[in-house]
């Protein structure tokens, strides 16, 4: 069988050329990294869970009219997505203080913010994805003022959508990160949500107990990451309770 052409390999995913022009196959690896890959591990089953969860969130967004790169899931670890030009920004939306914001501003983790706060980081691993302002983004030409208006409105719609579906299953959406791409359609350019939406890129806390159900479990050594992600997936009805069967090969005789 002819090998597919690899386009890009990141820390958690590999992109291959898709079957049609303008499409890409996005493969979810089991690799987990934190602190700009200073901490690394391979967590069996994480890729399968994130593939399913990202499918669930992205297809939901498509259905409510928030355009995303997602076309369809192909198998346990791969999905077909639209090829787009990624804007080199991580768009972070925060509803409660946590992580780097708590550290930077000295606000206790879990403090509710007066309104959702949108932040931008420049996507550059060598620099450790530094926080930037709209001034930097405009001055260095990473995105136009019109793009920024569209990005904020997309990010806030994603926030409302994700907060609502999480609240319905007893989970607080503390914060999340998305990436946005430019999708060329004839003479038009549209901004679409790209990359992934999964517990790798969100902070999710159980509303009753405060238990962390996201990548902080790995970053802070709080237990089993797949147990946490499986909990999110089962509450959302994305995976059956015995999700292990999807992560380990079963021998059939």
Contact residues: ligand TMP, CB under 6 A:
92, 98-101, 129, 175-177, 201-203
Rounded to the nearest whole angstrom, what is the least distance from the CB of residue 154 to ligand TMP in the complex?
16
CB of 176 to ligand TMP, least distance (A): 5
Structure tokens at 111: 């403090």
Indicate the residue whose CB is closest to ligand TMP: 99
Nearer to ligand TMP, 69 or 177 (CB): 177
Select 23 or 100, whichever has its Cβ closest to ligand TMP.
100
- Cβ at position 178, least distance to ligand TMP in Å: 9
- Output the six-digit token pair for 80: 């077909």
Residue 76's closest CA among 24, 30, 7? Answer: 30
Q: Give me the least distance between CB of 179 and ligand TMP, in Å please.
A: 9
Q: Which is nearer to ligand TMP, 78 or 109 (CB)?
A: 109
Cβ-count burial of 120 within 10 angstroms (0-12 exposed, 13-18 middle, 19+ buried)?
buried
Cβ closest to ligand TMP, residue 100 vs residue 234: 100
């Amino acid at each position: 069988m002819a090998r597919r052409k690899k386009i890009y390999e990141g820390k958690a995913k590999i992109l291959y050329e898709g079957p049609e022009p303008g499409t890409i196959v996005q493969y979810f690896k089991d690799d987990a990294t934190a602190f700009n890959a200073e901490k690394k591990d391979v967590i069996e089953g994480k890729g399968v869970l994130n593939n399913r969860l990202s499918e669930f969130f992205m297809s939901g967004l498509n259905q409510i009219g928030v355009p995303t790169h997602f076309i369809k899931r192909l198998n346990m670890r791969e999905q077909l997505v639209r090829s787009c030009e990624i804007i080199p920004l991580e768009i972070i939306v925060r509803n409660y203080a946590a992580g780097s914001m708590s550290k930077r501003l000295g606000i206790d983790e879990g403090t509710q913010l007066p309104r959702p706060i949108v932040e931008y980081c420049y996507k550059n691993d060598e620099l450790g994805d530094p926080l930037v302002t709209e001034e930097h983004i405009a001055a260095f030409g990473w995105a136009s003022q019109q793009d920024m208006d569209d990005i904020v409105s997309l990010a806030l719609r994603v926030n409302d959508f994700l907060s609502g579906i999480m609240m319905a299953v007893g989970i607080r959406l503390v914060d999340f990160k998305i990436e946005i791409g430019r999708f060329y359609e004839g003479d038009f350019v549209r901004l679409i949500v790209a990359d992934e939406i999964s517990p790798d890129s969100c902070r999710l806390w159980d509303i009753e107990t405060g238990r962390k159900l996201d990548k902080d479990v790995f970053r802070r050594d709080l237990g089993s990451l797949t147990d946490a992600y499986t909990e999110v997936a089962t509450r959302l009805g994305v995976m059956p309770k015995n999700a292990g069967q999807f992560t380990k090969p079963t021998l059939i005789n």
